Amino acid sequence: MNSFDYLEVSVLLSPFTQEGADILIAELSELPFDSFVVEEPCLKCYIQTQDYRPSDVKVVLSGYPFAREFTAVPVQGQNWNKTWEESFQPIVVDGTVTVKAPFNQNVPRTRFNIWIDPQMAFGTGYHHTTFMMMQRMLALESFIRGRSVVDMGCGTAILAILAAKMRARKVFAVDIDAVAAQSAWGNARWNRVGTRIETACGDASLLQMGTYDVLLANIHRNIILQDLPTYVRSLRRGGHLLLSGFYEADVPAIADAATALGLQPEGTSSRESWACIEFSKPANGSPKR
């Protein structure tokens, strides 16, 4: 890869807030950006030069008055990777799960330890949505053990790896981005759960290959609403669907769509305006719990 095959798109936020940066990350993730770094007062976004379309970025930012302007400059791929390495800190979820990178030193061990190497793929566990998904998975540990799990929009495969470490029988990790799918494959093997995690590059249509006991989708709300019927068809009766990647304000629309498809709400979590919802698919037409 040529060292200048990437662009750094810097978006100025005024006023700057972490919530504003999170909103833009969620929106810009729909474009082919590979990674994001927050450096007040800017959000820095990284994309392959061939995939960059200034008009697409302008359309996304036009709906957010705090996104004042953006510039794009060539950047060496390893420069922004180094920035990520210097800023990344281990994440500990409820004293039970630790997500760490190879350069983190003297990190206390917890019950579930996950090592990741992002390789330009989204998903370090730091984002509130990933954190809440892991919390929900911990509450379902006894259910996940011995069952099949699919992680849609897997990114670095943190959730898939956690499911495998919880002794899921089989895990299917899917991402529409080829770099993410490759990163997921490598991380699964690095964590010694590669024999139980199958990775694939594609969209929700791949779910037609089977049915699953647990379906995880930490994706943008529009994709969730679009693919929800496929999720429901792919979920076994008595199974659980965990959804995140959207804001508290989006919960009613997603909950209404899910219940209209026959799912039963099991609980909602929120963290810094982000939300996570758990649903179950009634067994034999009756509520599971």
Q: Is residue 262 predicted with pLDDT exceeding 70?
A: yes
Highest mean pLDDT among 92-96, 223-227, 238-242, 270-274: 238-242
Q: Is residue 167 predicted with pLDDT exceeding 90?
A: yes
Give the global pTM: 0.74
SS3 readout for the chain: CCCCCEEEEEEEECCCCHHHHHHHHHHHCCCCEEEEEEECCEEEEEEEHHHCCHHHHHHHHCCCCCEEEEEEEEECHHHHHHHHHHHCCCEEECCCEEEECCCCCCCCCCCEEEECCCCCCCCCCCCHHHHHHHHHHHHCHHHHCCCEEEEECCCCCHHHHHHHHCCCCEEEEEECCHHHHHHHHHHHHHCCCHHHEEEEECCHHHHHHCCEEEEEEECCHHHHHHHHHHHHHHEEEEEEEEEEEEEHHHHHHHHHHHHHCCCEEEEEEEECCEEEEEEECCECCECCC
Instruction: Sketch out the chain's domains with CATH numbers.
Output: 6-79 (3.30.70.1510), 122-280 (3.40.50.150)
Model pLDDT for residues 207-222, shown as the tens digit of each residue: 988 899 999 999 888 8
Q: Is residue 254 predicted with pLDDT exceeding 90?
A: yes
More confidently predicted of 246 and 165:
165
Model pLDDT for residues 41-89, shown as the tens digit of each residue: 999 998 888 889 999 999 999 989 999 999 999 876 554 455 555 556 7
Q: Is residue 231 predicted with pLDDT exceeding 50?
A: yes
Q: Is residue 126 predicted with pLDDT exceeding 80?
A: no
Mean pLDDT (whole number) for 120-132: 66
Q: To which residue do tokens 């350069």 refer?
A: 103
Mean pLDDT (whole number) for 1-28: 82
Mean pLDDT (whole number) for 273-285: 90
pLDDT of residue 85: 55
Query: Mean pLDDT across the chain, nearest whole number?
Result: 87
Q: Is residue 120 predicted with pLDDT exceeding 80?
A: no
pLDDT of residue 288: 43
pLDDT of residue 83: 54
% of the chain at pLDDT higher than 70: 89
